[in-house]
Structure 1
Amino acid sequence: MADVLILPGGRYGPELPLLHYAARAAEARGGVVESAHWERRTDLRSLPAEQRMDWIESQVRPHLQGIGLLVGKSLGTYGARLAAEHRLPAVWLTPILNNATIVAAMSAATAPMLLVGGTADPMWDGTVARKLGPHVLEVDGADHGMDVPGRLAASVEVLGRVATAVEDFLDEIGYAGPGSHQG
């Protein structure tokens, strides 16, 4: 049974690098990963934030049994209220911090969370991120995909920094999945 639930972005699936390496970090610590998949019934951008959150929660709630860690990218951060309600640690990759509904949900969290974003992402707010908790990776010049201008190697380096931040966060909070042989 899975203990890590991946919440993809609107156009960023679990097989893409940020979520893939976050999942690999959890798996390396004994985690069993499951990915949510959004069933599109409507254009979510047309819904008010509270309705978007309700819709995401309706998609996520059936997968929460046994989950001990949430990892979400962008649209997946609408799962923040569930993380707070269930006291789940979370890794939020490019969270939508210019949205009061998501920020309020994250503010209610008592479990640790890692926030990762870039200064060129209009949805990121580094000041808000640092107010939400001590675990923040902010990358100068990174956009919503955590890509930076210039040669591709620079964006690959950012991906490495994100993967290391996820590993460090999981180690710091003592995350050990069911296959970890710890206990």
Structure 2
Amino acid sequence: MSIILVFIISIGFLVLGIRWWNTRRGISLVLLTPGFLMLLSIGYVVFNSWYHTDPNLLKFSVQKENQVYTVKGVWEKPLDAYRFPTDFIIFYVPNNAEITYVKRNRVKDYKNMNQKFLEESIKEWIKKEKPPKSSAQIFDIETSKKFSFSFILPDDVKGDDVRIYYAHTREEPMDALEFWFKKIELK
């Protein structure tokens, strides 16, 4: 009810502001300002609901020095406003060998985040995407325009045998988490 009342009052200000434009410009500007602010805020919400990042907008470069792989990522366009503060790196290693060292930027309050819920959500989503037979090893990484992470593979594992995915998470208000995945080639 109050939203309708605000909308009606804003329309009234808009009509009065247009009507008085030629005779009383100062008052007209004051009356038109709430209408323009309302239109700008509606436009902002609509744009951010419409704009989604796409896997094609994310580019990776991989460097190997000794046993340490460093992956650098860059988004070609701005990140979506409703992105989740954390994205994820998913490793599939043959024979479920464990990756023990992954260096990356993390969200400052990652200790307060419900990591189990997030990881379970990703595992449920991965099941729909026909994952490899080995178990997923999931690491969080801070969502940012430019990022990098480095890792060391177990001794008996070659880079060609490992499958790595970057999972981008998005959470619009009043909506469930959404994910998309992009494969990282170790070449």
TM-score normalised per structure 1: 0.25
Structure with greater strand percent: 2
Structure with greater helix percent: 1
Q: Larger C-alpha radius of gyration, 1 or 2?
A: 2
TM-score normalised per structure 2: 0.25
